[in-house]
Amino acid sequence: MKKIAVVGTGYVGLVSGTCFAEAGNNVCCIDIDVQKVDKLKSGQITIYEPGLEKLFKRNVSEGRLTFTTNLEEGIKGREIIFLALPTPPGEDGSADLKYILSVAAELGKLLNEDDFKVIVDKSTVPVGTADLVRKTIIENGASPDCFDIVSNPEFLREGVAVDDFMKPDRVVIGYSNEKSKTIMGELYAPFVRQGNPVYYMDERSAELTKYAANSFLATKITFINEIARLCEILGADVDMVRFGIGSDDRIGKRFLFPGIGYGGSCFPKDVKALVKSASDVDYNFEILKAVMNVNAEQKTILIPRILGYFDGNISGRTFAIWGLAFKPNTDDIREAPALEIIDDLLSKGANVVAYDPEAMENVKNLYGDKIKLSNNQYEALDGADALIIATEWNEFRTPDFDKMTSLLKNQAIFDGRNLYALDTMRKLNYYYSSIGREIIK
């Protein structure tokens, strides 16, 4: 059993803290958001993540998982301190390290020599951050002998975060001191019992690994999105093309689904930050610049199609949107393509009625009464001029088409996630526009 503190109790902090507790460790999660901590202390979970609530409740009730807003109290007697703090994009696109460095400064004042601690960067941070955190802690009064820094980037995916954390494809540990390497190895041993690798490396390589992983995945999505655009022009079907290439092991089937661009709290900011890190050392990361541009266009690709269908004027028309989260199985709407579509529709004078199984509260906080939210997917269609699909939640995959037909004013679907077979839509007499496939008219 290890005694752990996790500073920052958001998506990564809460999942990591809960899963470490589930493996038998004693974990205190710390956050400055008083409301969030009060809610967690009262036994209520603060994010939607499949499977998390059960583990959260069990570990809270067994006393292995506690919460506080007080850093000093939270780290007392704990050997490992994870930093799971935000690293949002700054104005120039670089990762803003103010949250990390302010906690590092506070830690510098709190650490003492009788109590060695491993401070672990779990946030996604640019190369050199481990050095910067070390320097900040020392400048604020701590002796270099009373702590060590480890870089342990997190690869969990929202929506399957618990599974990813409990059985990671790999664990990356950037270290510069054998003692910390051993402590981290012991901590992760229960999570890699099936034999998945733990890669030990220097801190800088660990930091870059996370950016390289996310940037590669963003590039793969963007590549198939461009192939999809070409399919539309050349009269090919992107589904056939993706089957044809994905069966090659070197390419792989995953992350080859065309759509309306990547969003979320990670890919957009991490691609941007890597481009900025590269340009800071006079390296022009051309591929990633193209990825950012193509993705920005992809996010609004449905709008001209919708305008085309309605002869260029959608003012006063009502659009139903299914799916608001940036991907299924999460309530996270950060940089979600649905939001750009909503903004575009509203700016053109249209009305929006939206439904999402989990993300409606977050959308309500953002839009207030500018858009209508429905209680279920069908209610959103009642009297709507067309349906737009922005997120591929499972419940949208095999809907009751008869019911849809009776509710929609026009039989028109703009599907940003390619949920339906073209033949089905043809038989149902729908106008159906998807990504990289023939338009059914």
Q: Binding residues for ligand NAD, per CB under 6 A?
A: 7-13, 30-33, 36, 84-87, 99, 102-103, 123-124, 154, 156, 158, 265-266
How many whole angstroms separate alpha carbon 344 and alpha carbon 338? Answer: 10
Quick one: which H or E segment has residue 347?
Answer: helix 337-347
- Tell me how far, at minimum, the Cβ of 376 lies from ligand NAD, in Å: 27
Residue 81 vs 306, nearer CB to ligand NAD = 81
How many whole angstroms separate alpha carbon 217 and alpha carbon 39? Answer: 35
How many whole angstroms separate alpha carbon 72 and alpha carbon 130? Answer: 21
Are the C-beta atoms of residues 28 and 68 closer than 8 Å to each other?
A: yes
- Tell me how far, at minimum, the Cβ of 71 lies from ligand NAD, in Å: 7
DSSP-assigned states of every residue in 1-51: --EEEEE--SHHHHHHHHHHHHTT-EEEEE-S-HHHHHHHHTT--SS--TT
**Active-site entry in 19, 29, 231, 266:** 266
Residue 258 vs 263, nearer CB to ligand NAD = 263
How many whole angstroms separate alpha carbon 439 and alpha carbon 136? Answer: 57
Residue 10 vs 323, nearer CB to ligand NAD = 10
**Residue number, nearest CB to ligand NAD:** 10
Residue 227 vs 278, nearer CB to ligand NAD = 278
Q: Which of these, 235, 190, 173, 192, lies nearest to 22 by C-alpha position?
A: 190
- Tell me how far, at minimum, the Cβ of 331 lies from ligand NAD, in Å: 11
- Tell me how far, at minimum, the Cβ of 121 lies from ligand NAD, in Å: 9
Are the C-beta atoms of residues 11 and 332 closer than 8 Å to each other?
A: yes
Residue 210 vs 317, nearer CB to ligand NAD = 210
Residues 6+ apart with CB under 8 A from 430: 411, 412, 413, 440
Instruction: Please say if 266 is a catalytic residue.
Output: yes
CA quadruple 363, 365, 370, 374: dihedral sign: positive
- Tell me how far, at minimum, the Cβ of 79 lies from ligand NAD, in Å: 19
Residue 173 vs 440, nearer CB to ligand NAD = 173
Cα within 13 Å of Cα(323), Cβ side: 26
How many whole angstroms separate alpha carbon 89 and alpha carbon 163? Answer: 28
Residue 84 vs 413, nearer CB to ligand NAD = 84
How many whole angstroms separate alpha carbon 259 and alpha carbon 170? Answer: 28
Are the C-beta atoms of residues 100 and 87 closer than 8 Å to each other?
A: yes
Query: Which pair of tokens denotes residue 247?
Result: 């069966």
For the annotated catalytic residues, the residue numbers are 266
